């Protein structure tokens, strides 16, 4: 199938910035070139998108980006996933059930870098392209492409931000969800490595909140009581960041214990605007979803040369200084699904 001029322009733009794709000037960069011509309409292609958890604004924003690109390309997008838990136990049955329906391609955020390998490998062995978004696998050979954010860099940025807030001295800790997710592990690694640059700072043992904001809040309060010199907390994902903010507020330590959260979900943005959180590291979930659908389309239509094997998107630093600026709003995540394909 030949590409239209519109599609060629979009592909060239993606390839030119493959090492540092960013979300600019709107919801997603890929959907700004105008509607696709009839030549790019696929017809009969179904892409299954399996996010980590369907109720999370990060994945809702990813879903919205995927719907926008699916409409542009004329493919059918099916979104499947658990709304209650980010776990392999809930995700694997969904992936296995969808395999029986033989979708044209699978775009998935695997909830465990090891446990999801076998279920995803079934697709690849059956000739169904598999693309990971956000999280990925330890063994990536079965993947057509893997699309994620610079998670190691995000952890480093969080460490530098907290060090500056703490005047390069004091105790810090990571508030994390469960280990085992590639993104979580990379953020932890980046933070820990970067923190070694500050000899007057001590990193305490990581706290695990099981992806629960309520548990993160409780752990934050107990950590503050146990460590009077605690000056900074890194909330490793959205639930952790939200819970850390709530815990600091409940402990009466706003402005005394500093916190950086990951992502830019509504509750986190509200905490940042109120000064409870001091920074957020936002990703580009809409662009991840859009790229996932586009690469699935390329794989299905025999245009694999246009696929970038590994894409790492830039993070966006949101602080109390820029959170109220109009230009920053494009990095906030959505809490509602938009199936219309319109930003």
pLDDT, tens only, 112-149: 999 999 999 999 999 999 999 999 999 999 999 999 99
The Cα 219–Cα 143 span in angstroms is: 37
Q: Is 319 within 8 Å of 251 (Cβ atoms)?
A: no
The Cα 336–Cα 270 span in angstroms is: 17
What residues have CB less than 8 Å from 93, skipping those under 6 apart? none
Q: How many residues does the chain have?
A: 343
Which pLDDT value is given to residue 39? 31
> In DSSP terms, which residues pair with 234 in a beta bridge?
174, 260
Location of structure tokens 């860099």:
153
CATH 3.40.50.2300 fits 151-282, yes or no: yes
Which pLDDT value is given to residue 182? 83
The Cα 46–Cα 66 span in angstroms is: 12
**Residue 324: closest CA among 247, 281, 261, 270:** 270
**Residue 292: closest CA among 183, 145, 164:** 145
Which pLDDT value is given to residue 340? 77
Secondary structure letter of residue 180 according to DSSP = T
Secondary structure letter of residue 234 according to DSSP = E
**Residue 215: closest CA among 171, 260, 261, 247:** 247
> In DSSP terms, which residues pair with 133 in a beta bridge?
147
Mean residue pLDDT of the chain comes to: 88
**Residue 234: closest CA among 170, 270, 273, 278:** 278
Q: Is 169 within 8 Å of 201 (Cβ atoms)?
A: yes
**Residue 242: closest CA among 265, 226, 219:** 265
> In DSSP terms, which residues pair with 148 in a beta bridge?
312
Element (H, E) at 133: strand 130-133
The Cα 235–Cα 279 span in angstroms is: 10
The Cα 282–Cα 319 span in angstroms is: 11
* pLDDT tens profile 85-107: 999 999 999 999 999 999 999 99
Delimiting residues of CATH 3.40.50.2300 domain(s) in the chain:
5-134+284-317, 151-282
Indicate the pairing of strand 201-203 with strand 170-176.
Answer: parallel
| CATH code for residues 5-134+284-317 | 3.40.50.2300
Residues of the chain whose pLDDT is less than 50? 1-41
The Cα 79–Cα 51 span in angstroms is: 8
Chain CA centroid to CA 328, Å: 17
Element (H, E) at 6: helix 5-16
The Cα 262–Cα 187 span in angstroms is: 9
Cβ neighbours of 252 (radius 10 Å): 11
């Amino acid at each position: 199938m030949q590409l239209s001029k519109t599609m060629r322009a979009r592909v060239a733009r993606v390839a030119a910035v493959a090492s540092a794709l960013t979300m600019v000037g709107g919801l997603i960069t890929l959907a700004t070139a105008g509607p696709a011509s009839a030549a790019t309409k696929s017809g009969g292609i179904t892409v299954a998108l399996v996010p980590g958890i369907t109720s999370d604004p990060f994945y809702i924003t990813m879903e919205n980006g995927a719907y926008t690109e699916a409409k542009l390309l004329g493919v059918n997008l099916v979104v499947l996933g658990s709304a209650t838990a980010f776990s392999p136990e809930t995700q694997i049955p969904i992936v296995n059930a969808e395999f029986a329906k033989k979708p044209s391609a699978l775009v998935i955020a695997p909830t465990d870098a090891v446990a999801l390998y076998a279920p995803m490998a079934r697709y690849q062995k059956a000739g169904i392209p598999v693309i990971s978004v956000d999280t990925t696998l330890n063994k990536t050979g079965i993947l057509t492409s893997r699309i994620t954010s610079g998670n190691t860099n995000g952890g480093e940025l969080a460490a530098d931000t907290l060090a500056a807030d703490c005047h390069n001295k004091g105790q810090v800790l990571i508030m994390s969800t469960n280990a085992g997710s590639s993104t979580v592990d990379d953020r932890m690694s980046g933070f820990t490595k970067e923190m070694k640059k500050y000899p007057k700072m001590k990193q305490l043992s990581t706290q695990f909140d099981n992806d629960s904001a309520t548990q993160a809040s409780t752990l934050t309060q107990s950590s503050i009581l146990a460590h009077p010199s605690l000056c900074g907390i890194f909330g490793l994902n959205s639930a952790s960041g939200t819970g850390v903010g709530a815990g600091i507020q409940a402990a009466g330590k706003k402005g005394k214990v500093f916190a950086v959260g990951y992502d830019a979900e509504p509750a986190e943005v509200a905490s940042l605007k109120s000064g409870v959180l001091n920074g957020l590291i936002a990703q580009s979930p809409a662009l991840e979803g859009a790229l996932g659908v586009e690469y699935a389309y390329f794989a299905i239509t025999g245009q694999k040369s246009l696929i970038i094997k590994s894409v790492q998107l830039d993070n966006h630093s949101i602080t109390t200084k820029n959170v109220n600026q109009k230009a920053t709003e494009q990095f906030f995540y959505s809490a509602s699904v938009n199936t219309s394909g319109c930003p």
